Structure 1
Amino acid sequence: MINSFFKQLPEPYKRLWNSISLRRKKQFLLLVLLTLGASFAEIFSIGAIFPFLAVLTNPDKVLEIKELEFVWKFFGIIHSSDIFFFVTIMFILASLLSGAMRLLLIYATTRLSFGTGADISYEIYRRTLFQPYAVHINRNSAEVISGITVKASSVITQIITPILTITSSLIILILILVSLLVVDPMLTLASFGLFSVFYLFVARYYRARLFQNGSILSKQLTIVQKSLQEGLGGIRDIILSNSQRYFLSIYRNSDAAFRLFSAENYYIGASPRYIMESFGMIALALFAYTTGKSSSAINSSLPILGSLAIAAQRVLPILQQSYHGWTNIKAGQENLRNVLDLLEQSVLDENEIFNDKLISFNNQIELKAVNFQYGNKEPWVLNDINVIISKGSRVGIVGRTGNGKSTLMDLLMGLLSPTNGLLLIDGMELNQSNVREWQNLIAHVPQNIYISDSSIAENIAFGIEKSKIDISRVKEAAKKAKIADDIELLPFGYDTYAGERGVKFSGGQRQRIGIARALYRNSSVIFLDEATSALDSETERTIIDSVKELDENVTIFIVAHRLSTLEICNQVYEINDGRLRKQNI
């Protein structure tokens, strides 16, 4: 039944419902049942008001009500003075029950909405991490980060929580109105009709404005995230170029616009409440004035007036909650679409086994008639590459900047797929079904080593939980990479924190940590992609000596600008205008 209901909703909400796990859907159904319980508690609380006020004005008359005779007999109530104590207790119990149920409902709603938000945020991050490398290099990371963090959170506050709140509010509202119709049908219909017409008018008036504001907020949020990321990421160059004001200007303009439109949305959502509260009090005053002209009328009308006043105190916040939830939903449309696009990224399951015959590397790597371009309208980066690399080879690749060296490495590592041609590992074609098995056998040491703000041991055993790190393997890898002596001189040794992006270490030390990381993995193939190009000659010599002493069964690819870096290689190729030519050593 719930699924059928959501199939009738507009496309974004249908997509959101389909992305929610079965466990959360079951919790949503339980929330609906809890809402029904809270609704009946609310009705019981309102229903207890009428006899309470009636006893205050005319207790003897209440005792004469035939429909309640069984209640008085059951509790042994004979005199009218006894009724007052009974209805007071009932009113207090009803109020406590109503409050407790509402607290429980708010707790359950909040837990469900934020739990669902956590699921969504995790799923976006999972799908993003498992996207092909080609996807990552063609989009802005700031947009993805804002989608995973801020925009996913806004889906909680602007979409999921309001939907749950509106659902529970409507159920409670309908049942309260049914109970009020019993007390005074005409006054109930008139007052509720007035309130509803007002909220519908306001909603229609602000609908387009909220949607427009939501689109602006989504764009400004991405710009804010981008300015922060670029400003903090390039802080050294910013300080040296004295360009702080430029980045501050971008941030201030975007952040100010974001907060301005957020404030406008909040005002649109909150303001009707105070108008309706004023109108409600005026209506009650007029009703009291009309009936107050007669003492007999005021006595008979006081219970009705009190019931309606308390009911209005319950109904108006519910109407306001529903309206405020609706404003959030309208303003959050653009964020919802952005989050759904990230949530629906197609990705192969990381736990799925794709091929019965796992790829292995025992003999050779072959590139056969390989061509590559980044897009249909982009120029060809590689042209007709044919080469065979035997296991254990030391392969050097040289060439001018922009001639395709790094692209060739990315193809060999399975990060990119050939536009035409084949990449064969021991005669087996490398493709999406076995590329992960190949990548488990290789390690990459780039020019700029990524060092996380964690211990040296965690950086060498990168991507492994701290409790599962084999410290003896860490030390052995560091020794082979000729970084062990430097680490052991530190006060905390392998537990020393590296600092953000490894700022506490020199360029050569970072490169050797990168090599140690590759060695920790026991990789069969190591790619050094211009890993020494930014180092001085002495440091480069030390690192090349470290590489030279590696196991002879490890295949090593070295990309470099200088031929001197490739002296340990037994095969050297030059790439020029996308074509690969073998060089004499």
Structure 2
Amino acid sequence: MIVPIVQMGMSADYSGPLESLKPLLAQFSSDSLILAVSLGFLSLFLLKNAVILATIYLVTHFTLYSAAAFRKELFELYLTQPYSYHLQRNSAEMLRNLTNGIGAAFDGLRLGLNLLLDLVLSAAAFTILVIVEPVLTISLTVGVGGAGVAFYMIVGPLIQRWGKQAFHLEAQVIKAINFGLGAIKDIKILNAEAHTSHLLNTLSISQARILTRSVVANQTPRLFVELLIIVALLSVAAALISSDKPLESILAMAGTFALAALRLMPSMNRIISSTTELRQRTALVEDLHKDLIEGRRLQEYTTKDEGAPALPFTDRFQIANVTFQYPGSAVSAIEDINLTIKRGESIGLVGGSGAGKTTMVDLILGLLKPNIGTMTVDGIDIQPNLRSWQKDVGYVPQDIFIVDDTLRRNIALGKNDEDIDPERMQQALRIAQLDDVVANLPEGLDTVLGEHGARLSGGQRQRVGIARALYPNPQILILDEATSALDSQTESSIAAAMESLMGEKTMVIIAHRLATVRHCDFLVYMEQGRIAAMGRFDDLVKSNAGFAKLVQLGSLVSGEKES
């Protein structure tokens, strides 16, 4: 639309692009034609803005909702990976990928879609210029485009390398922050604030240095192409002046190229910026793609499996010839284990540090998969039925994770409010000796406990963990040092409550104190990943020197705590 307006304003000689319309245009006055064309131009401009606004909305909506869907899929993949995957993977990397990583990657998708739009608009402007002046337009395009591509080939690899370095440094920064905030008590006691702050600052400075280089490098192709376009415009002006065309045609042509350059410059800048930023994010996309492909390959189950019914447990749980070795380890953590636990029995796992007790529990829980051997419940292998098996099991770890949410939701973890069973909740509270705690909280079960259970004592957090394990009413209850943080009176009360469950629940207890395991049907004494002996407490003291030494040295004491 610009070309005819400029040409009609300069002369009534309808030549060039307007020559084919000369018979029609000659019937109207110059003023009316200019008015009509101007109104047409305004209408097209308004239409163009509406299309651009709609495109921005559609592109933004598509990229943000795609990012949300991908974040959900990747998070579910992380959650459904084998437990051994999480033992080897740094959580800071996963946190980075799920937050800034996905945001930056899908912002790259937005850049790519906008890049396509700018390419279409630029192609339209280029087509008009080719129609107006084909030889000059193509010559300038080849010259400017070739120089720009050559420059980008030099700068591009640097941008990609610095982007990769900045991406990996971001994970280190998150790791340092997690360390500083997670170990705050130790840091304060050890007077390590300055060291911890310096560690983060060193990483942040390195990241800032890399990002500065990257940002500057991102801008250089744009500035270089701008320079080339200015040179091209000057070349056009020189070429037109030296030609034998009429002054009106020269001015119209020069105006057309100048207006086209003004229109193309922002698009070219966005095209170049988008291209360089996309290259900068290559490492990020590669890392996310790797996690996605690897995650799908290693995935043990999907969230759809959560609806599977619990495995029937009417007779026995059996461990047969089980050996397990952690990835990267030269020795087996568990070797040639054979153990049968009948329904309703309670067993105590005892042994020195590193004997394999926790690994044994992780195997029973289905968190680890044996390298050799099988684990079955009523003859059914638990590995192909992990979701169903784990519905049979309640677990109380040494360290209880408390969500920054209400006590009710912490106990019924993973349940929606409307699905929480009040009777089960009250039973879990009673057995875990939490009734008094609930009564003293300002909003009872609906009191928010704070980050890491800041409103609770160590013993109270431990009891929340016990209530959490009891709430689903599991058939098997596994306690890993579950009463270690309790005072003697509370421990005695909970031990009595646990004793009342013996026979009703199958129980596996790791303990260092006799009070916790003295009433078990039998103890399993472990040494160096093997079962060294099994039997009642008094019998093991007499028959096994290693177990007797543990008792003598105080690794298994009467349950009395120092005040």
Q: The TM-score by the shorter chain falls in which range?
A: 0.7 to 0.9
| Letter in structure 2 aligned against 1:53 | V
Q: Which residue of 2 aligns with 1:219?
A: 168
1:247 corresponds in structure 2 to 196
**Distance in 2 separating the partners of 1:330 and 1:451:** 41
The 5 Å alignment of 1:85-234 reads 85-158=35-108, 160-234=109-183
Classify the secondary structure of the residue corresponding to 1:380: coil
Maintained 8 Å contact 1:443/1:527: yes
Asked if the contact 2:311/2:392 (under 8 Å) is kept, the reply is no
Does the 8 Å CA contact 1:113/1:156 hold for their aligned counterparts?
Answer: yes
Q: 1:51: which partner in 2?
A: 4
Higher mean C-alpha displacement, 375-384 vs 398-407: 375-384
Residue 220 of structure 1: how far off its partner (Å): 0.7
Maintained 8 Å contact 1:199/1:323: no
Q: Is the 8 A contact 2:462 2:482 kept in 1?
A: yes
Deviation, 1:521, is 0.6
* Structure 1 residues 315-339: Cα deviation after superposition (integer angstroms, max 9, x where no partner): 2332322222221222222222211
Given the two structures, how large is their TM-score scaled by the length of structure 2? Answer: 0.88
Q: Which moved more, 1:100-109 or 1:62-71?
A: 62-71
- List per-residue Cα deviations over 1:284-337 (Å, max 9, x = no partner): 356446756999833222222222222212223323222222212222222222
User: Which residue of structure 1 lines up, in the alignment, with residue 20 of structure 2?
Assistant: 67
AA paired with 2:210? F
Which residue does the alignment assign to 1:440?
391
Match of 1:478 among 423, 429, 454: 429
Q: Does 1:361 align with 2:313?
A: yes
Residues of 2 paired with 1:353 and 1:152: CA distance?
Answer: 26
Tell me, yes or no, if the aligned pair for 1:55 and 1:62 is still in contact at 8 Å. Answer: no
Displacement of 1:260 in angstroms is: 2.4
Provide the rounded CA distance (Å) in 2 between the counterparts of 1:550 and 1:267.
68
Aligned residue for 1:401, secondary structure, equals coil
Residue 364 of structure 2 aligns with which residue?
Answer: 412
Alignment partner of 1:237 is 2:186: yes
Structure 2 residue ranges without an equivalent (≥5): 538-563
CA distance in 2, matches of 1:162, 1:512: 51
**Unaligned stretches of 5+ residues in structure 1:** 1-47
Deviates more, 1:322-331 or 1:463-472: 463-472
The offset of 1:472, in angstroms, is 4.1
8 Å contact from structure 1 (residues 480, 550) kept in 2: no
How many aligned residue pairs are there? Answer: 533
Alignment partner, residue 282 of structure 2 = 333
1:451 maps to 2:402: yes
The residue aligned with 2:545 is none
- For 2:546, the equivalent position in structure 1 comes to none
Cα distance in 1 between the residues matched to 2:145 and 2:472: 66
User: Alignment partner for residue 510 of structure 1, among 454, 458, 461?
Assistant: 461
Q: Secondary structure at the match of 1:421?
A: strand
1:25 aligns with none
**Structure 2 match to 1:17:** none
Distance (Å, rounded) in 2 between the aligned partners of 1:358 and 1:453 = 29
| Cα pair 2:406 2:448 within 8 Å, conserved | yes
Shift of 1:71: 5.5
Whole-Å separation in 2 of the counterparts to 1:144 and 1:182? 53
Percent identity, aligned pairs only, is: 29
Letter aligned with residue 199 of structure 1: G
- State the alpha-carbon separation in 2 of the partners of residues 207 and 275 from structure 1: 14
Q: Which residue of 1 aligns with 2:417?
A: 466
State the one-letter code of the partner of 2:131. Answer: V
1:154 positional shift = 2.1
Deviates more, 1:184-193 or 1:281-290: 281-290
Q: Give the deviation of 1:371 after TM superposition.
A: 2.0
The code of the aligned residue for 2:63 comes to: S
What is the TM-score when the length of structure 1 is the normalising length? 0.85
What secondary structure does 2:501 align onto? coil
